[in-house]
């Protein structure tokens, strides 16, 4: 098994609030990115910070971002504007015995850098197929190939995972023996996960056409992407959690 180099302790990506939650294990970064479906991409354009949700995929030690070639945010990134990409997985709502001490369990990856435009036709097609299969596992093999016009209308960017950080919380609500709070008030964690409903075919799909493997694979993938609920019961919050206060911030 290949050992991945740890994430660098870069001042740009260093966590300053609740720094003990920062993780430098590159495999954890990969796991968070592989489990997410939507990235929020930020860029400064005309002195205004613009953040938009985009589909993405991890390709080795880089992120692939795609969108319309006419989109302003991606065109700014393609022109060399620095970007920050954030992927957040919300794993649970943490119910403490005060609103101030309530929190969230989460895994959050943040990547900062400058994107490279993917222009080689074969590399671009491969990248878009990888992105498709990240969202819908195996779908690229089930559908027709992209046309030249479709490829020309799509901008594909590659962002290296060189400057990245991961911050996570996977704990129970913070309590202390002498906090004076009423134990009759329920405290704990409500685990959350992204789930799939029943597939709904288009009206022009003939009756009897089976649901493809890419759909069932996506259902299975989502079912396995949630938090480790069993571990929460044995994982208490430290004393520092009592002053965490509200929604955790990066």
Domain boundaries, the chain: 19-175+182-237
pLDDT bucket at 236, cuts 50 / 70 / 90: low
For the cut 50, the answer to whether the pLDDT of residue 245 exceeds it is no
DSSP secondary structure, 135-187, as one string: HSTTGGGTSPPPPHHHHHTEEEEEEESSEEEEEEE-------TTS---TTS--
pLDDT bucket at 198, cuts 50 / 70 / 90: very high
Q: How many helices (H) and strands (E) does the chain have?
A: 6, 10
pLDDT score, position 10:
86
CB neighbours of residue 121 within 10 Å: 11
Whether 143 contacts 133, CB under 8 Å: no
The pTM of this model reads 0.88
Which CATH architecture describes the domain 19-175+182-237? Roll (2.30)
Q: How many CA atoms lie within 13 A of 123 on its CB side?
A: 11
- H/E run at residue 95: strand 83-95
Tens of pLDDT, residue by residue over 55-95, are: 999 999 999 999 998 888 999 999 999 999 999 999 999 99
pLDDT, greater one: 234 or 179: 179
Greatest Cα pair distance, the chain, in angstroms, is: 68
């Amino acid at each position: 098994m290949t050992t991945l180099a740890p994430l660098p302790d870069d001042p740009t990506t260093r966590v300053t609030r609740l720094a003990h939650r920062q993780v430098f294990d590159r495999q954890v970064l990969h796991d968070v990115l592989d489990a997410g479906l939507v990235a929020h991409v930020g860029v400064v354009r005309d002195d205004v910070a613009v953040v938009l949700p985009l589909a993405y995929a991890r390709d080795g030690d880089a992120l692939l971002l795609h969108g319309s070639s006419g989109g302003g945010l991606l065109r700014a990134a393609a022109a060399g504007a620095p970007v920050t990409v954030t992927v957040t997985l919300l794993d649970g709502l943490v119910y403490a015995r005060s609103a101030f001490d309530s929190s969230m369990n989460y895994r959050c990856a943040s990547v900062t850098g400058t994107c490279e435009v993917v222009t080689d036709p074969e590399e671009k097609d491969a990248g878009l197929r990888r992105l498709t299969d990240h969202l819908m596992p195996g779908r690229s093999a089930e559908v027709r190939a992209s046309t030249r016009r479709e490829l020309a209308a799509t901008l594909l960017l590659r962002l290296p995972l060189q400057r990245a950080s991961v911050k996570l919380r996977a704990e129970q609500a913070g309590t202390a023996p002498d906090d004076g709070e009423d134990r009759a008030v329920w405290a704990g964690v409500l685990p959350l996960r992204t789930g799939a409903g029943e597939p709904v075919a288009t009206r022009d799909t003939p009756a009897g056409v089976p649901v493809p493997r890419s759909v069932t694979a996506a259902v299975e993938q989502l079912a396995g992407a949630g938090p480790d609920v069993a571990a929460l019961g044995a994982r208490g919050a430290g004393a520092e959690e009592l002053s965490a206060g509200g929604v955790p911030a990066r």
